[in-house]
Amino acid sequence: MIPLKDAQEYVLQHCRVGHSELRSSRSSLGLVLAEEVLTSEDVPPFDNTAMDGFAVRSEDTLEAPQQLEIVGTIPAGSAPDFSINPGQAARIMTGAPLPEGADAVVMVELTQVEGDQVTVQKTVPEGNHIRRAGEDLESGQVVFEKGTKLTPTHLGVLASIGCLEVSVFSPIKVGVMSTGDELVEGKVPLEPGQIRDSNRHSLLALLNDLGLEGIDLGLIPDNEESIETAIRSACFGEGSCDAVISSGGVSMGDFDYVKVVLDRLGEMQWMQVAIKPAKPLAFGLVGDTPVFGLPGNPVSSIVSFELFVLPALKKMMGEPEIWAPKIRAIADSSLSRRPDGKTHFARVKAYIGDGSYRVKSAGGQGSHQLSAMADANALAVIPDGDGINEGELVEIIFLHQLTRRLNGS
């Protein structure tokens, strides 16, 4: 067996950051900037009011309450064609530019209007409720650094500076296939020895959850010609994939068709990693395409994705942070295990209680028990030894993007 860190480093060494492209800002959600973004404009572009009220000279409010003459109204989107002189004020709406002479805004709630007169009921300082030009961003400023992953808020900022196109790392396509004569698809009667394929569906959903395009390469029988055709098409065919994930056929004792084909087409490493579940792992390049051979057991397949595939895909997408953060949590009950030279990843339910993260077992820990995996929202990292006692701290890794967002990590 090889250490987990060594296996992860080997995978990352052979995965390269993808190409960059110019892309519409509106269609770049979830992608990573390949170049920094600068602004050629101030944001906001002019001094304006932060709320509805009256534009005044602050010195005219020093002896509030003070009555002032209303000399005009300034709605948002218009430029005032008058100035504010001593003893005067102007109605002003949120976002509207300040008239010359005004240096403060009084919120409407602190005023009382009678005819063309407004009584300001409170003294306000210079600059009150005014948003200065360039207060958010100044012309020439770097707005976002290379490596920034674009969220909806980032896209809003890009729109605010008139940036319609950005250089981003291209989105990647990942092909997913399952192999095995024992696998069947859909709601068909099961013959003796058959099971329904779940891995392909879980892996495609994990890719979609990341905002990636998952390509369904189908359910491939244990047939050398069929496996080779599928892999060649995925790696070299028209519209080929940027990475390929195969599930099944990597364990000791499996039929060796997957191994034979991948060894013939690429440079593969067949590893036994010191972890449980997900000990067997195949990885290598077919041409320039990274190919991941994951175990066939459903839980092992998902854990392998989190530990090996996810960091590699993040690197390929140009993300600067590729590792899921490890968070310390309190075990509500013991997470037992036996010494075996491996790091165990227990499926747990994590929640916040008494101001701290806490975890409890999600149920069955067998690598075939997918329903317990579905109940888990995190993996507890249990070092070699006798496990974690109740009340002790344990490191956890939140699972899946949706789950991570729900838990604020």
- Which own/partner contact pairs does 142-148 have at CB distance under 8 Å and 24+ positions apart? 142/36, 142/37, 142/38, 143/36, 143/37, 143/38, 143/39, 144/33, 144/36, 144/37, 145/33, 145/36, 146/33, 146/34, 146/35, 146/36, 147/32, 147/33, 147/318, 147/319, 147/320, 148/32, 148/33
Q: Would the pLDDT of 145 be above 70?
A: yes
> What digits encode the pLDDT tens for the residues 3-25?
999 999 999 999 999 999 999 99
Task: Map tokens 């392909």 to a residue.
Answer: 200
- What are the backbone dihedrals phi and psi of residue 200, each rounded to the nearest 5 degrees, phi first? -60, -40
Mean pLDDT of 140-166: 96
Q: Which domains does the chain have, with CATH numbers?
A: 4-18+172-316 (3.40.980.10), 21-43+135-169 (3.90.105.10), 48-131 (2.170.190.11), 326-406 (2.40.340.10)
The pLDDT value given to residue 254: 57
Give bridge partners of residue 23 from the DSSP assignment: 166
Q: Residue 382: exposed, middle, or buried by beta-carbon count in 10 A (0-12, 13-18, 19+)?
A: buried
* Per-chain mean pLDDT for the chain: 93
> What digits encode the pLDDT tens for the residues 214-239?
999 999 998 899 999 999 999 998 88
> What digits encode the pLDDT tens for the residues 266-321?
999 999 999 999 999 999 999 999 999 999 899 999 999 999 999 999 999 999 99
**DSSP letter string over 358-369?**
EEEE-S---TT-
Q: Would the pLDDT of 403 be above 60?
A: no
